Amino acid sequence: MSDIVQYETQGRIAVITLNRPDARNAINGDVAAGLEAAIDKLEADPTVWVGVLRANTEGQQKPVFCAGADLKAINSGQAGGLNTKRGGFAGFVYRERTKPVVVAVDGLATAGGCEIVLAADLVVASTQASFGLAETKRNLIAGAGGLFRLPRAIGQAAAMEAILTGEPFTAQRAYDLGLVSRITEPGQAFDEAMRLATQITNAAPLAVYASRKVVLAAAYEDDETLKNLTNAEFAKVMQSEDVKEGLTAFIEKRAPNWQGK
C-alpha cells in the first residue's frame, strides 16, 4: 500500500488516512487502489474491529476532506482507474464490508468525497466541515451512490435541494438532518471519531457486525425479509462463544472479554 493512503492500527481500531492534501485529497487510481487495500486489511485482521477514515488537510488554506474525482486524471484518460471492481469509486463506495467504518470530516466533502462519506457507517464532523454533490454545476450527475444515499440520510426534500443546486450544506445542518452523528470544534473530528470507535469496540464485535447488516438492509428490504434476516443473524450470534462470555460477565459484574468468536 502506498503512502497516498496510510494505514495503522491503534488497538482494535484501524486508522485509514487519505494523504493527498496537495490535490485536495482527490481520488485518482493510486488513492482508489490504496483505499481498497486498506479496507482489505481491515476486513482480514481479526484483531481489528472498527475502521476510522480521515483525510490529511495539512497546508490547505480551506480544509478539504476530499474533492471527489481527480478531474486531471479523468481528462488524461485515466477515469477507469478511479474505480475498482469490488469497491467501485475510490475502491470504497460499493465495497462489501463486515466491519463498521467511522469517517472523520474536518473540511469540505464534495462530489465523490461526499459519496465516500455517505458510504461510511457513521460520520463525525467538525463545524468547519461541509457536504455537497456539486456535479450538476459541471453537467454531471453523482454516479457513486450519492443520488440515492443522500435522500436516505437526510430526507428527499433536503437532498433534492442539495443535488439540484449543487450547493454544499453545513456540518450543523448535516447534524440536524441526521447525516452526522457527532459534531465537534474544528480540528477535533478525528479525536471524537476515535472515541466513538472505541465505544463500538467495547461492544461484542459479532453482535455489532450482525446489527450493522440488518440496519443497512432496512433501507431497501421489506419487513418480512428483514424479519428473516434478523432471525438468521440472531441465530448466528447466539451460537458464538461470546454469548456465554457476555452473560457471565453480566452475572459477575465485570467488563466482558470479547474474542470475536
H helices of 65-204, in order, are 71-75, 112-119, 146-154, 156-165, 171-177, 189-201
Say how far apart CA 224 and CA 202 lie, in whole Å.
Answer: 31
Does the annotation count 58 as an active-site position?
A: no
DSSP string, 30-64: HHHHHHHHHHHHHHH-TT--EEEEEE--TT-SS-E
Residue 89 near residue 161, CB atoms below 8 Å: no
Q: What is the largest CA-CA distance in the chain?
A: 63
185 is catalytic: no
**Which is catalytic among the residues 36, 135, 192, 233?**
135
Q: Annotated catalytic residue: which of 36, 115, 192, 233?
A: 115
Neighbours of 52 (CB within 10 A): 25
**Active site members:** 115, 135
